[in-house]
Structure 1
Amino acid sequence: MNLRSRTAILFALLLTAPPVMADIGLSPFAGYRISSSVDVETAGASTRDQIDFRDSVSHGLVLNFDLEEPGKQGELYFGRQSTSARLDDGLFAPGMDAIDLTIYQLQFGGLYFPGGQNHGGFVSGVLGMTRLEPEDSRFETDHRLALSIGGGYQFFLTEALRLRLDLRGVYTALNSASSVFCSGGCELRFASSGYLQVEAGAGLVVRF
């Protein structure tokens, strides 16, 4: 068999072989977040206060793709929450004790089904960034490192459809003594190493 014949056979086999591709799951979700308080202080550390984030609904998108080992998946998580930040005693600006803001998370990690399936109980962990974006343009947008750990259950509906329930903790790291939502001459500084949000969510997983 000459080289041309071998090349033709190999090319034909490549065309007829099924593509090797991991299954992908796409899950839009809606949820609700509750948040811890954040300790802050004035630049001179003469007074201390707390920022309280309002508990509110959240929504987003989770993308999963199967890994080689059964029961393991890569996970990309995007979440969004419209909320407000309120100071217990102080002011962000004259006459302003609260600001509206949107909190975004973009994180990447993995998901694991202990049973080795692609449905049932699972645990997940992702790492990425939190974006704190005030609606008032006078205040600065802030980006911080964030970590999410959680678990849940995926109910098998069909081969292409799952119902996913999640409970996750989202921890956003803060640098002590860094500025807080500055507007001109910022006096407030973080006095906390971070804050925790707990999110309960539900969504449909479409696999393809």
Structure 2
Amino acid sequence: MNIRTLTAVTLTLALASSPAAADIGLSPFAGYRMGGSVDIETAGASTDDQIRFRDSVSHGLVVNFDLPEAGKQGELYFGRQSTSARLDNGLFAPGTRSIDLTIYQLQFGGLYFPGGKTYGGFVSGVLGVTRLEPDDSSYDTHHRAALSLGGGYQFFLSEQLRLRLDLRGVYTALDSGGSVFCSGGCELKFRSSGYLQVEASAGLVVRF
């Protein structure tokens, strides 16, 4: 199942499971994602290295639906970042120190407004999957569990519109010892249990 199909299925299930009378908010967003480094080693050797993800623009869509308890909402988060992975010292393949890739997150969880309204300050937490997809199909694609925690503020513009500002940490878990992006044989292995990125974003919430 590709990422577009998975997104469509998850969105359908999320909307179908929300209370019939609930308001739904759609928030396309644009942001900037920073950080992310992974410790690796060369298989069968003691050579250590590190993969670093380039800071870059991110964008995506957040879907919220009101829950029966005031101030609580279900939340579906889909994020996308076009970036590159670069080795500090080694090579992914002969002559290749960095590869371009796209990082996707698809996660589901909740959002809470301490004031019990549908605007103002909030905290959020979502859990799901990260997809690490190299642009060159000769390299492996990886799927890993992911968790995002964050907070922000929604400015009230009208009953149907909010301006949403977010700051979230996105943690992707890795299997220590698992292979890194490989092409025609793999000499690199994960040594890290995961990596953390920070994303700052803004979006317009449309409620209906």
Using the size of structure 2 for normalisation, the TM-score is 0.90
Amino acid at match of 2:192: S
Distance across 2 between alignment mates of 1:159 and 1:33: 30
Question: Who is 2:161 aligned against?
Answer: 161
Q: For 1:177-200, what per-residue CA distance to the aligned partner results, in whole angstroms no more than 9, with x for missing partners?
A: 000011121000001000000000
Match of 2:182 in 1: 182
Give the Cα–Cα distance (whole angstroms) in 1 for the partners of residues 20 and 112 of structure 2: 21
Show CA shifts across 1:113-165 (max 9, x none): 00000000000000000000000111011000000000000000000000000
Residue 95 of structure 2: aligned partner: 95
Letter in 2 for 1:185: G
Q: What amino acid sits opposite 1:137 in the alignment?
A: S
Specify the SS of the correspondent of 1:91.
coil
Between 20-29 and 171-180, the greater mean CA deviation after superposition: 20-29
Question: In the alignment, residue 123 of structure 2 is paired with which amino acid?
Answer: V
Aligned partner of residue 172 in structure 2, secondary structure: strand
Task: Indicate the SS of the match to 1:158.
Answer: coil
Which whole-Å CA distance do the structure 2 matches of 1:40 and 1:96 have between them? 16
Letter in 1 for 2:157: L
* Identical aligned residues as a percent: 82
**Does residue 173 in structure 1 map to residue 173 in structure 2?**
yes
SS of match in other structure, 2:155:
strand
In the TM superposition, residue 20 of structure 1 has moved relative to its aligned partner by: 4.8
Match of 1:40 in 2: 40
Alignment of 1:142-153 (within 5 A): 142-153=142-153
Match of 2:205 in 1: 205
What pairs with 1:39-188 in structure 2 (closer than 5 Å)?
39-188=39-188
Let me know the Cα RMSD of the aligned residues.
1.0
Distance verdict in 2 for CA 1:153–1:144, change over 3 Å: same
The answer for the alignment partner of 2:15 in structure 1 is: none
**Unpaired runs of 5+ in structure 1?**
1-18
TM-score normalised according to structure 1 size:
0.90
User: 4+ runs of 1 displaced by more than 4 Å?
Assistant: none
| Deviation (angstroms), 1:36 | 2.6
Structure 2 counterpart of 1:103, which letter?
I
Q: Measure the CA separation in 1 of the matches of 2:32 and 2:21.
A: 34
2:12 is the counterpart of 1:23? no
| Structure of larger gyration radius | 1
In the alignment of these two chains, the number of paired residues is: 190
- The aligned counterpart of 1:3 is none
